[in-house]
């Protein structure tokens, strides 16, 4: 596949624009996300995390959408009319490590956002982590602090125990339980959830993701993640020691087209998971199907094809599940498709698996080796150390041809290269889809 290059220094306001951080070492752009319309002005908005800003407390910037931009926007100029700033609470919280839109969880017509601060100490629980749900509204001041969330304008979600790093990733979840309210999720990839086979034991660093249901009911200023009971949300527990489940999370759209939105969880460190196979794999992703009934927790070990399934990495070192994403409807068949990144494939060349949605039962486990062009395809990076698939996203219908497109990040520095990092947009289509797609250097 030939590549058309776009240099970011050519953005001029009419074809895009640059957002400039405020201070040296702020790490503005640690995380970025498109969200819905937070202030309900008819334009979608942007969220930018700067995890090391404000003396490592972290900052998050919301930039309001509009129909006119200059070539450069300095984040320090956000005034409340053009956007606003949320400051983290304390040093080394690193708020903004992850940011995302959350959908409209209280169904008030304003889209909400969620911010992760995974290094936050909760009392004596070091790095238990913290996340913040911020409600959309018609007006915001230029500067706010996350400590000001009081239940009416948003609320705080505290990690459960030391070392959970809750908030490593945050994500919308669509409407997974079909109640008309958007849901959202926060992940704790270093959590030690109950063991799948022995609930009296735990699985060290198996990882855990908490999925919180939207609701019209008021939220308290502090939301207890261990209060999830199936009615207000549920926990998704990793299967085995050191899986790091929840390293990446994403809505999956309605993959099986049953009327309920589904959810994706990546576990890039999964090796010999659950003793289900004598063949080592490195990395897994899980699709959890939506429905109207959940218990308080679900272990991915128990996915059986009817409630979801696992996607296996193909070889040791692949890191399948390092990134996961909804792909929209790439092939235009009416089913939402999904993306799984495996940036470690082939000496870190990297691969991406595009898996087409289907109403067929795929069984408990799916192998990307079976992708053949009709059920999905594989995208291959170019050179060693490209790290293709390290980040992924749906691109919407970028070229307005009726097919959704996808965006692939390859942030590595290939051998012999001088400039690190490329991103690729691949246009959707319903004909001529190969089993394997290779990028070609421009």
Convert the pLDDT of each residue in 215-227 to its tens digit: 998 899 999 999 9
Say if CB 46 and CB 65 are below 8 A apart. Answer: yes
In a domain, residue 2? The reply is: no
Handedness of CA 137, 141, 144, 147 (dihedral sign): negative
In a domain, residue 1? The reply is: no
In a domain, residue 415? The reply is: yes
- Per-residue pLDDT, averaged over 232-259, amounts to 96
In a domain, residue 103? The reply is: yes
DSSP string covering 120-189, please?
--BTTBTT-BEEEEE---S---SEEEGGG--SSSEEEEE-SSTT--BTSSEEE---TT-SSS--EEEEET
In a domain, residue 3? The reply is: no
Tell me, what CATH number does 317's domain have?
Answer: 2.130.10.130
Separation between Cα atoms, residue 169 and residue 98, nearest integer Å = 5
In a domain, residue 376? The reply is: yes
The number of helices, as runs of H, and strands, as runs of E, in the chain is 1, 30
- Per-residue pLDDT, averaged over 297-308, amounts to 96
Tokens of 316: 């040791």
- Per-residue pLDDT, averaged over 399-421, amounts to 87
State yes or no: pLDDT of 130 exceeds 50: yes
In a domain, residue 279? The reply is: yes
Say if CB 187 and CB 249 are below 8 A apart. Answer: yes
What pLDDT score was predicted for residue 95? Answer: 96
Q: How many domains does the chain have?
A: 1
What pLDDT score was predicted for residue 275? Answer: 47
- Per-residue pLDDT, averaged over 182-189, amounts to 98
State yes or no: pLDDT of 418 exceeds 60: yes
State yes or no: pLDDT of 255 exceeds 70: yes
Convert the pLDDT of each residue in 28-84 to its tens digit: 999 999 999 999 999 999 999 999 999 999 999 999 999 999 999 999 999 999 999
Convert the pLDDT of each residue in 304-329 to its tens digit: 999 999 999 998 889 999 999 999 99
- Residue range(s) defining the domain that contains residue 64: 8-438
Global confidence as pTM: 0.94
Convert the pLDDT of each residue in 363-383 to its tens digit: 999 999 999 999 999 999 998
In a domain, residue 54? The reply is: yes
Tokens of 390: 């390290």
């Amino acid at each position: 596949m030939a590549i058309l290059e776009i240099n970011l220094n050519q953005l001029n306001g009419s074809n895009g624009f640059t957002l400039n951080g405020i201070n040296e070492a702020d790490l503005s752009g640690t995380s970025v996300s498109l969200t819905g319309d937070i202030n309900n002005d008819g334009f979608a908005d942007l969220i930018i995390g700067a995890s090391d800003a404000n003396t490592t407390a972290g900052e998050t910037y919301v930039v309001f959408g509009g129909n006119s931009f200059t070539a450069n926007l300095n984040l320090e100029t956000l005034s409340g009319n053009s956007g606003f700033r949320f400051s983290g609470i304390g040093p080394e919280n690193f708020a903004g490590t992850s940011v995302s839109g959350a959908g409209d969880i209280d169904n008030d017509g304003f889209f909400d956002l969620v911010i992760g601060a995974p290094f936050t100490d909760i009392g004596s629980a070091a790095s238990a982590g913290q996340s913040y749900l911020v409600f959309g509204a018609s007006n915001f001041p230029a500067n706010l602090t996350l400590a000001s969330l009081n239940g009416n304008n948003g609320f705080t979600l505290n990690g459960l125990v030391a070392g959970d790093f809750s908030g490593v990733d945050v994500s919308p979840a669509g409407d997974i339980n079909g109640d008309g309210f958007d849901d959202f999720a926060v992940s704790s990839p270093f959590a030690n959830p109950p063991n799948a086979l022995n609930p009296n034991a735990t699985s060290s660093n198996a990882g855990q993701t908490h999925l919180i249901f939207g609701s019209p009911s008021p939220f308290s200023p502090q939301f207890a993640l261990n209060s999830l009971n199936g009615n207000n949300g549920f926990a998704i527990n990793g299967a085995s020691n050191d899986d790091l489940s929840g390293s990446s999370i994403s809505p999956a759209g309605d993959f099986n087209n049953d009327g309920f939105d589904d959810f994706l969880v990546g576990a890039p460190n999964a090796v010999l998971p659950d003793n289900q196979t004598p063949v080592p794999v490195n990395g897994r992703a899980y699709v959890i199907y939506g429905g109207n009934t959940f218990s308080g927790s679900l272990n991915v070990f128990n996915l059986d094809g009817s409630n979801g399934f696992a996607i296996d990495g193909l070889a040791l070192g692949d890191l399948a599940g390092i990134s996961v994403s909804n792909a929209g409807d790439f092939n235009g068949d009416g089913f939402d498709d999904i993306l799984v990144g495996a940036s470690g494939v082939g000496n870190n060349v990297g691969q991406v698996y595009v898996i087409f949605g289907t109403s067929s039962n795929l069984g408990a486990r799916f192998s990307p080796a079976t992708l053949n062009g009709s059920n999905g395809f594989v995208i291959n990076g170019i050179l060693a150390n490209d790290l293709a698939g390290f980040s992924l996203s749906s691109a919407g219908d970028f070229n307005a041809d009726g097919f959704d497109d996808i965006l692939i990040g390859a942030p590595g520095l290939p051998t012999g290269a001088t400039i690190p990092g490329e991103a690729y947009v691949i246009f959707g289509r319903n004909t001529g889809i190969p089993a394997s797609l290779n990028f070609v250097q421009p």
